[in-house]
Amino acid sequence: MGAMTAGLRELKKQQTRQSISDTATRLFIEHGFEKVTIAEIAAAAQVAKMTVTNYFPRKEDLALDTHETFIASLARTVAARAEGESALAALRREFMAAVERHDAVTGFSGPDFARMIADSPTLTARLRELHELREDALARVLAADTEAAPGDLTPRAAAALLTTAHRTLFQQVMDLSLAGRDNREIAAVVAGAAHRVFDLLEPSLAGYAVRPRPS
C-alpha cells in the first residue's frame, strides 16, 4: 500500500509539473516570454505562486522544461554505445533516429515554439547555456571512457566538435520551423545536412572513443 501511495503521489507531482509547464508555454507563446509573470502563470494554472517556483526555480525552464534530458542526451548516447562503435558513430546513429521521430531534443518544436524562443533574448541565452552544459556532460563521459590523463584536452576538443555539429543542426531545425516548413520537410532536409556534417568529422573522430570488443 505504501509503495502504491508513493507511486500515486509521484504521478500527481508529474501531472502538476506538466500542467504548469503547458500553461506557461501557452502564455509565453501568446504574450511573449518576457511579458508573462510567474503570478500570471500560477493563476492560469490554478496553483500557488510558490508551487510554480518549487517545480521551476528558473522561469526559463518553464518553457524549456526538458532541459535535463537535453543536457544529458549526448553523454547518455555515448555511454550506451555498442561494442566496436565510436562516439561519433553512436551520436550519428542516434541523431538520425531522433530526426526520423521528430524528437524535440533535435529542435522539432513547431513554428510557434520556435518563434517564442527566437523572440526572447532570455530564452535564446538559456538555450545557448544548455548547449554548453551538454558539451560539458559529453566531455566528462569521453574523458572517463578513454581514461584521459588529467589536463588532456582531447575529450574536451572532441566534445566541442560533436556538440557543435548537433548545435548547428538544431539551429537548422529551428530556422526551418520558423520558415513554416512541416516536420516531414524539415526531417528530409536535416537528414541530408546531418550526413554532410557528420562526414566532415569522420577523418578526425571515426577512430576516437571506440568501445572495445571483448578479447
Say if residue 168's pLDDT is above 80: yes
This prediction's pTM: 0.92
Quick check: 56 and 21 in contact, CB under 8 A? yes
Say if residue 215's pLDDT is above 80: no
Residue 64 gets which letter from DSSP?
S
Distance between CA atoms of 159 and 25, rounded to whole angstroms? Answer: 31
Strand runs (DSSP E) across 50-209, as ranges? none
Cell numbers placing 82: 555498442
What is the residue extent of each domain of the chain? 2-60, 67-205
Quickly state the pLDDT bin for 214 (edges 50, 70, 90).
Answer: confident
Fold of the 2-60 domain: Arc Repressor Mutant, subunit A (1.10.10)
Residue pLDDT, tens place only, 62-108: 999 999 999 999 999 999 999 999 999 999 999 999 999 999 999 99
Q: What's residue 51's pLDDT?
A: 96
Q: Does the fold of domain 67-205 match that of domain 2-60? A: no
Quick check: 99 and 106 in contact, CB under 8 A? yes
Fold of the 67-205 domain: Tetracycline Repressor; domain 2 (1.10.357)
Distance between CA atoms of 97 and 17, rounded to whole angstroms? Answer: 28
- Mean pLDDT (the chain) is 95
